[in-house]
Structure 1
Amino acid sequence: MSDLFEAAGLGPKPRSPEAPAAAPADDAARPLADRLRPQRLEDVVGQDHIVAADSPLGRMIKAHRLSSLILWGPPGTGKTTIARLLAAAAGYDFEQISAIFSGVADLKKVFEAARQRRRMGRRTLLFVDEIHRFNRAQQDGFLPFVEDGTVVLVGATTENPSFELNAALLSRAQVLVLNRLEAPALEQLLARAEALTGKALPLQAEARAALIEMADGDGRYLLNLAEELLTMEAPAPLDIEGLTEVVQRRAPLYDKAQEGHYNLISALHKSMRGSDVDAALYWYARMLAGGEGPLYIARRLVRFAVEDIGIADPQALVVANAAKEAYDFLGSPEGELAIANAVIYLATAPKSNAAYKAYGAASRAARETGSLMPPKHILNAPTKLMKELGYSAGYAYDHDAPDEFSGQDYFPEAMERQAFYNPKGKGFEQEIRRRIDYWAELRRKRKDGA
């Protein structure tokens, strides 16, 4: 056991940078995640791209001058810890507030205290957790204190700053993206927990890997699970089944109203467009696991059928609509299988956006040409006056023409003929391409009098 302590820097050997210093004995009641907070930036796991010596934060510390930051990343990736260590390394006073529990009065007190420190030659780093929870007006309230140097603002958010923070605030802060913690980083945390407590997790190798998977990239959640396991008396190391009886799997990170929602539906849509049926099924399952409504996904499949498949497979829209109807009829969980069938069909169908592009081009032409009248020869003439004005004069009934094709021009007389639809020759559009080329040749012959 002494080797275990020494590996974490808890014995007589110098502390390894792989583990933080031991907490005093009277701190034993504190949560394990808190006791294991790193004491140096370089001890933060999984975020070398922003905490290493040659990283943005490393360069700030070397220059002894901090700039305002937005730390954007999933829960449990070290945002609060990084802010604390940054302030300590640069010699700034650290103030922390939460946008969930703080109001205008709290902010005024913080800014006044920062002013007082500034008069004494001290700098203040103000850490705002969940900064996206402040409304636009509250966010604007930070600007003058950031601009005049009263505080260096470090905001933490789990939401995309582009959508949740004011442009004015973003222009004054550098956005640093924190990574979801991968398995090697989470394994480091487990090793530190074992070193600090002097106990090994009562898990078989497969169960240890399953525990890491359960955390879903959240270091704090992993340490909470580890603390629960380290305090139990297990007669033998637990297998995966035993582990799941003791702890609960973390719910997937997914907010149906926020960025996770849009990221996953984008992944599903693009996987189907790329004809990657396995990836499409994975993202579909991920959305369901996160609590997404199946009917929302079904609507997106209908949209995909008309945008990305179109006439290349006319059955695609039928299948997508049928999946929606099947879900309405069956409900959950059987209805989800109908939607999965549609995902498979759409992902493996021939793709064409020719109809989508044709409609867009026709819409632009309609806006540009305004109120041009149809040519008179294709207008009905139910009255004598309309006949006298030339309505329907010269109309050729296609069924009476050779090949049942008159070749007449149906565009407005003041508008040159346009070609909006250009089928790509995939799937059923191969046949449509053949027909269009055939009619184009007939039209040319009619025009030339052949």
Structure 2
Amino acid sequence: MADLFDNDPASKTPEGGKDAPRPLADRLRPQSLSEVIGQEQVLGPDAPLGTMLAAGSLGSLIFWGPPGVGKTTVARLLAQETDLHFVQISAIFTGVPELRKVFEAARHRRSNGQGTLLFVDEIHRFNKAQQDGFLPHMEDGTILLVGATTENPSFELNAAVLSRSQVLVLTRLTLADLERLAQRAEKELDRPLPLTGEAREALLEMADGDGRALLNLIEQIFAWKIDVKLDVDGLSTRLMKRAAIYDKSGDEHYNLISALHKSVRGSDPDAALYWLARMLTGGEDPRYLARRVTRMAVEDIGLADPQAHRVCLDAWETYERLGSPEGELALAQAVTYLALAPKSNAAYVAYKTAMAAAKKTGSEPPPKHILNAPTQLMEEQGYGAGYAYDHDAPDGFSGQNYFPDGVKRGIYYVPVERGFERELKKRVDYFARLRSKRVD
């Protein structure tokens, strides 16, 4: 299989000798690691790659990050820095026969004294068996593997591949990074962008942290025949904002629902509404959000505000009746209510503690005095004997034991001094005092 990357500029010249137009992103591709914009957490002198290169010991790597942040570029430059032959393949288009050819060529190269850096784009798209196929060639030094993935490697890559590689996280480019990239494009094209200051900021926002997307947008702008600077409205009518990255079944799905849940728990209605809006604009199913918001009510608010649960169920039903887009407003109101409600996970903790105790004590039966005795045999066995009917007690409380005989009484529910649970705490303490008197 032929290598998919070639440093020879002549390879970009078609038959006839005339240079073909090159995209701006290709023209601005960094020629050294020092020219890479962003990713200091990976490339800095004390960062993982900087340390490896300084020590002259580069190991197999997995680059994890969103599109357009430089994964391919950094891999290519690593090969250049370490004098390794660079081979690039994509898991989408490469099958087992092509992989065999790649490994065979790498073995031949190695026998001639040159190593191979094999860059595998979208490596998570290889199945587990295909990923296993890399292991012997990594272990004997035939290839140095650099994989790139937009998905969480913990879920998508074999443990064996991960154990032989270091995972490096590449992040979205900041607005400052994108501005540097825009300035580099202006220098390459020898003219400024025809945008007002506010429109320039809007352009950087449109790229959404993706350097390649920004350069594509800039290339479109420079192709326009305009004599005046465009303002934000003029730019927006000509360009569409890059669609936000959101995979409803992938890592971003779980990242954003986690952000929404923790914003509610942290009593921040503005942040909670922001993350709700992010998920809705990304195409999330409102019914999923309704279910998760209801879970927040029972997990993080609980009996501190028993009404919160009802608010969520009403919002869920309202969405089912109204549909989109009006129904989403009910979900927004529920999220706002939850964020501002008093918080308590006392009932949630009590439930988990009780579940652990139930598993530990196994099949211990209830004490006989609280068992019904519908037959004479059961009466003879002592079922129901000694049961104290609470309504007959002067204060409506018998204080009897309801745990299994021989099982120490557990204290699971510990209400907090917030919201309605203040009142519940008074009741818990009241019954605890009465129970103590009955025992005494």
Shorter-chain TM-score bucket reads over 0.9
Helix, strand or coil at the partner of 2:87: strand
- Residues in 2 aligned to 1:375 and 1:179: alpha-carbon distance in whole angstroms: 60
CA RMSD of aligned residues (A): 1.5
Alignment partner, residue 385 of structure 1: 377
Q: Which residue of 2 aligns with 1:230?
A: 222
- CA shift in 2, pair 1:283/1:26, >3 Å: farther
Deviations 1:168-213 (A, max 9, x none): 1011111111121011111111111111112221111111100000
Match for residue 30 of structure 2 among 18, 27, 38 = 38
Q: Which amino acid aligns with 1:396?
A: A
- Shifted more, 50-59 versus 358-367: the winner is 50-59
**One of 314, 333, 340 as aligned partner of 2:332:** 340
SS in 1 for 2:395: helix
Deviation per CA, 1:286-307: give whole Å up to 9, x if none.
1111111111111111111111
- Which one-letter code corresponds to 1:436 in the other structure? V
- Residue in structure 1 matched with residue 107 of structure 2 by the alignment: 115
Seen in structure 2, the aligned counterparts of structure 1 residues 337 and 114 have a Cα distance that, compared at 3 Å, is: same
SS in 2 for 1:402: coil
Helix, strand or coil: the match of 2:154? helix
Q: 2:76 aligns with which of 54, 76, 84?
A: 84
- Displacement after TM superposition at 1:278 (Å): 1.2
Q: Offset of 1:419 from its aligned partner?
A: 1.2
Secondary structure, aligned partner of 1:121:
coil
Residue 412 of structure 2 is matched in structure 1 by 420
Answer yes or no: is the 8 Å Cα contact 1:311–1:355 preserved in 2: yes
Alignment partner of 1:260 is 2:236 = no
Closer, same or farther in 2 for the Cα pair 1:290/1:326, shift >3 Å?
same
- Cα distance in 2 for partners of 1:250, 1:145 equals 39
Which position in structure 2 is the counterpart of 1:365?
357
Among 235, 241, 249, the alignment partner of 2:241 is 249
Cα 1:28–1:196 shift into 2, 3 Å: farther
Written as runs of structure 1 = structure 2, the 5 A alignment for 1:19-418 is: 29-418=21-410
Q: TM-score, normalised by structure 2?
A: 0.94
- Distance in 1, matches of 2:273 and 2:384, equals 54
Cα distance change on mapping 1:26 and 1:353 into 2, 3 Å: farther
Q: 2:8 — aligned with what? A: none
More divergent stretch after superposition (217-226 vs 435-444): 435-444
| Contact 1:27–1:35 (CA under 8 A) maintained in structure 2 | no
* AA of the residue aligned to 1:177: V
SS at match of 1:404: coil
Corresponding position of 1:18:
none
TM-score scaled by length of structure 1? 0.92
1:377 shift after superposition? 1.4
Q: Take 1:75 and 1:326, find their aligned partners in 2: how far apart are those partners?
A: 38
Which digits, 9 at most, give the CA deviation of each residue in 1:155-176, with x for residues without a partner? 1111111111111101111111
In 1: Cα distance, 2:371 partner to 2:56 partner: 79
Q: Distance in 2 between matches of 1:404 and 1:58?
A: 73
Counterparts of 1:61 and 1:444 in 2: how far apart (Å)? 70
Whether the 8 Å CA contact 1:180–1:218 is kept in 2: the answer is yes
Distance 1:392 1:56, change over 3 A: closer
- AA at the equivalent of 2:40: D
Please give the alpha-carbon distance, in whole angstroms, between the structure 2 residues aligned to 1:174 and 1:420.
43
Give the deviation of 1:110 after TM superposition.
Answer: 0.6
**Gaps (5+ residues) in structure 2?**
1-11
SS at match of 1:438: helix
Q: Which runs of 5+ in 1 are unaligned?
A: 1-22
Q: Indicate the SS of the match to 2:249.
A: coil
Q: How far apart are the structure 1 equivalents of 2:226 and 2:239?
A: 14
In 2, Cα distance between equivalents of 1:410 and 1:83: 66
1:26 and 1:181 map into 2 onto residues whose CA distance is 35
Tell me the residue number matched to 2:3. Answer: none
